[in-house]
Amino acid sequence: MAAGWRGSGRLLFLLQKHPSCVSLSQNLNQFARISFKFSTIHSQEAMTDQPQSDLGLYKPPQTVRGMTELDRAAFSQTVSVPAIRIQTSVLNKVVKSLKKVALQRPGLKRVVEEHNEDGNKDSSKGEHRLLLLDPNSITSADSFGSEESDALKAYGVPQEIQKYELKLTYENLKSEEILRAVLPEGQDVTSGFSRVGHIAHMNLRDHQLPYGKLIGQVIIDKNPGVTCVVNKTNTIDSTYRNFQMEVLAGESNMVAKVRENGVFYEFDFSRVYWNPRLSTEHERIVSLLQRGDTVVDIFAGVGPFAIPAARRGCEVLANDLNPESFRWLQHNTKLNKVDNKITSFNMDGRDFIRGPVRERLPALMKGTQKIHMVMNLPALALEFLDAFRNLLGPEPDQSVSCQKNNLPQMHCYGFSKEDDAQRDVVERAEASLKISLQGQCSVHLVRNVAPNKEMMCVSFTLPREVLYSTHTLDKDISEEPCPKKQKCEDLTD
Ligand SMILES: C[S@@+](CC[C@H](N)C(=O)[O-])C[C@H]1O[C@@H](n2cnc3c(N)ncnc32)[C@H](O)[C@@H]1O
């Protein structure tokens, strides 16, 4: 959660530095939305460290500290909680009125029968039930708020509190309680996970590694639908952008089935790239497309731009170097019944641009439908832009090639660790293209990837000076060095 808001703070800082940056300020609302979405995801996903009002209820037995093999029975404990006695005739109504102060725990009944001193059900008290209350809200009969007091009076329920000995078991505990009880005291137990279908994907810290199997099992127990927990064992620096991972707990089936923006995907998560946090970005780009446009996806992965684009009525050329991504991309085109709209390639991005793209581009540019090129390989894509230089050779006929609206619309992604991430990515695009993009690009902040690392998207119309060799680009850029000032404007203005 913190990362998202830190990111938006930094964005404001960028805006203060560059008040003229129209595109970035327009993106602020979008980013605020994304940040909020991240924070939601993180709080849903985080196993630990979020404030939990009733964590104090459970005082774990010391015997569980340091446990590495999960022994669920060892977590059972009897605790004393407040309860109120309610006649069965008004039970439902009173429970509804006291819902804010009632005890809430996974798998726990909060309305219980009364027992006599031997612990047996007391049939003489059959007309009444006990409602268990949250000890953080109710400590005595005076703790009820006016709303609850009024309801109790109205239904004739005596405002008296009694103690109830409640047996809490592993099933009633939250994952953070279990992990706090097990992991070494004083050490951070925060450990978020991303969910990809049935797989929970974690990045454990060193001190958590000895407890990996137990942590994995707890996640499976506490998250319905998760049947496999994996831990990243490297950073994402492989060519194919996939993680190496080890299974911590559960089944070792790595073939995930996910749904993103209404589209179904299947893939082997251990062998391809998939990031659930890019769904908003996929949707953003797809929303720019019109039926009949052509989409060229140079680093397509398993299809999260290509397939929705095809479903929207676009013709798609989709490429990925990873043979596994290519295989799953083809599988997904069939799964979503768009195999007639997508031509897929398994090539290096530069070869793809200089081969199939070069072959098709002149004809596409003669048409009136837009051509969008998507380059989502943020670690390298900006450098790949050089493959477009002189791509089409000498300009054949100025009157045809000058139709600006038929030049490809580029959406190129880049990571940046610079304070001015926007300027950084634009300058890197300019350096690859050897042309200034001043006044001709927009930059979108996609997401805050890590502290001080942003993922950005630079969008621009590919200048014809880049595509045709008749223009002396090296001269252009050397005579007019990248300006150091802000140089991005929104093309829609
Ligand atoms: C960050 S992933 C993006 C995948 C997909 N577009 C998405 O949004 O989820 C980058 C993809 O580029 C592929 N890739 C890496 N190097 C490549 C290259 N030189 N040429 C083509 N594809 C490459 C990887 O296999 C990976 O699937």
Last residue of one domain, picked from the residues 135, 168, 201: 168
Tell me the three state secondary structure of residue 164: strand
In a domain, 385, yes or no: yes
User: Within this chain, do residues 370 and 465 fall inside the same structural domain, yes or no?
Assistant: yes
Last residue of one domain, picked from the residues 168, 187, 221: 168
From the CA of 408, how far away is ligand 1's center (Å)? Answer: 20
Q: What is the CATH number of the domain that holds 109?
A: 3.30.70
Question: In terms of Cα–Cα distance, which of 295, 41, 74 is closest to 182?
Answer: 74
- Residue 305 CB–ligand 1 contact under 6 Å: yes
From the CA of 394, how far away is ligand 1's center (Å)? Answer: 31
In a domain, 174, yes or no: no
Question: In terms of Cα–Cα distance, which of 56, 47, 61, 44 is closest to 134?
Answer: 56
Contacts of residue 315, defined as CB under 8 A and 6 or more positions apart, other chains included, come to 292, 293, 294, 295, 341
User: Within this chain, do residues 309 and 450 fall inside the same structural domain, yes or no?
Assistant: yes
What pTM was computed for the model?
A: 0.78
User: Within this chain, do residues 388 and 432 fall inside the same structural domain, yes or no?
Assistant: yes
Best of 299, 347, 351 for a ligand 1 pocket test (most atoms within 8 Å of beta carbon):
299
Give pairs for 467-471: CB < 8 Å, separation 24+: 467/361, 467/388, 467/390, 467/391, 467/392, 467/401, 467/407, 468/390, 468/392, 468/393, 468/394, 468/395, 468/401, 469/390, 469/392, 469/393, 469/394, 469/395, 470/394, 470/395, 471/395
Whether residue 340 contacts residue 368, with contact meaning beta carbons closer than 8 Å, is answered with no
User: Within this chain, do residues 156 and 20 fall inside the same structural domain, yes or no?
Assistant: no
User: Within this chain, do residues 83 and 31 fall inside the same structural domain, yes or no?
Assistant: no
Query: Which pLDDT does position 8 carry in this prediction?
Result: 34
- Residue 278 CB–ligand 1 contact under 6 Å: yes
- Residue 413 CB–ligand 1 contact under 6 Å: no
User: Within this chain, do residues 320 and 459 fall inside the same structural domain, yes or no?
Assistant: yes
From the CA of 381, how far away is ligand 1's center (Å)? Answer: 9
What one-letter code names the amino acid at 249? Answer: A
User: Within this chain, do residues 86 and 32 fall inside the same structural domain, yes or no?
Assistant: no
Query: Which pLDDT does position 471 carry in this prediction?
Result: 57
In a domain, 309, yes or no: yes
Measured CA distances, 274 to 11, 191, 256, 258 (Å): 26, 20, 10, 10
In a domain, 185, yes or no: no
Nearest atom within ligand 1 for CA of residue 384: 19
In a domain, 349, yes or no: yes
Query: Which pLDDT does position 405 carry in this prediction?
Result: 53
In a domain, 203, yes or no: no
User: Within this chain, do residues 302 and 378 fall inside the same structural domain, yes or no?
Assistant: yes
Whether residue 251 contacts residue 228, with contact meaning beta carbons closer than 8 Å, is answered with yes
Q: How many CB atoms lie within 10 A of CB 8?
A: 18
In a domain, 380, yes or no: yes
From the CA of 344, how far away is ligand 1's center (Å)? Answer: 13
**Which residue matches tokens 């060193």?**
206
- Measured by CA distance, the residue closest to atom 12 of ligand 1 is 299
Question: In terms of Cα–Cα distance, which of 298, 315, 288 is closest to 376?
Answer: 298
Question: Is residue 358 classed exposed, middle or buried when 0-12, 13-18 and 19+ CB atoms within 10 A define those classes?
Answer: middle
Q: In this prediction, does ipTM exceed 0.95?
A: yes
Whether residue 223 contacts residue 199, with contact meaning beta carbons closer than 8 Å, is answered with no
User: Within this chain, do residues 27 and 83 fall inside the same structural domain, yes or no?
Assistant: no
How many domains, the chain? 2
From the CA of 377, how far away is ligand 1's center (Å)? Answer: 5
Query: Which pLDDT does position 240 carry in this prediction?
Result: 74
What gap in Å lies between CA 131 and CA 152, rounded to an integer? 12
User: Within this chain, do residues 133 and 85 fall inside the same structural domain, yes or no?
Assistant: yes
**Radius of gyration in angstroms for the set of CA atoms belonging to the chain, rounded to a whole number:** 29
| Full domain range(s) for residue 311 | 2-43+274-479
User: Within this chain, do residues 27 and 92 fall inside the same structural domain, yes or no?
Assistant: no
- Residue 348 CB–ligand 1 contact under 6 Å: yes
What one-letter code names the amino acid at 124? Answer: S
Last residue of one domain, picked from the residues 125, 148, 168: 168
Q: What is the CATH number of the domain that holds 413?
A: 3.40.50.150
Q: Which residues are annotated as a binding site for S-adenosyl-L-methionine?
A: 282, 320-321, 348-349, 376
Query: Which pLDDT does position 350 carry in this prediction?
Result: 98
What gap in Å lies between CA 50 and CA 69, rounded to an integer? 25
Nearest atom within ligand 1 for CA of residue 351: 20
In a domain, 70, yes or no: no
User: Within this chain, do residues 289 and 385 fall inside the same structural domain, yes or no?
Assistant: yes
**pLDDT tens series, the chain, 493 aa:** 233 323 333 333 232 333 223 233 333 333 332 222 222 222 233 333 333 444 467 788 899 999 999 999 999 999 999 999 999 999 999 999 999 999 998 899 999 998 766 656 656 656 899 999 999 999 999 999 999 999 999 999 999 999 999 999 999 998 988 999 999 988 877 668 999 999 999 989 889 999 999 999 999 999 999 999 999 886 655 677 777 889 999 999 999 999 999 999 999 999 999 999 999 999 999 999 999 999 999 999 999 999 999 999 999 999 999 999 999 999 999 999 999 999 999 999 999 999 999 999 999 999 999 999 999 999 999 999 999 999 999 987 665 544 455 999 999 999 999 999 999 999 999 999 999 999 999 999 999 999 999 999 999 999 999 999 875 554 444 344 333 333 333 222 2
Question: In terms of Cα–Cα distance, which of 458, 429, 423, 428 is closest to 442?
Answer: 458
Whether residue 443 contacts residue 20, with contact meaning beta carbons closer than 8 Å, is answered with no
- Residue 349 CB–ligand 1 contact under 6 Å: yes
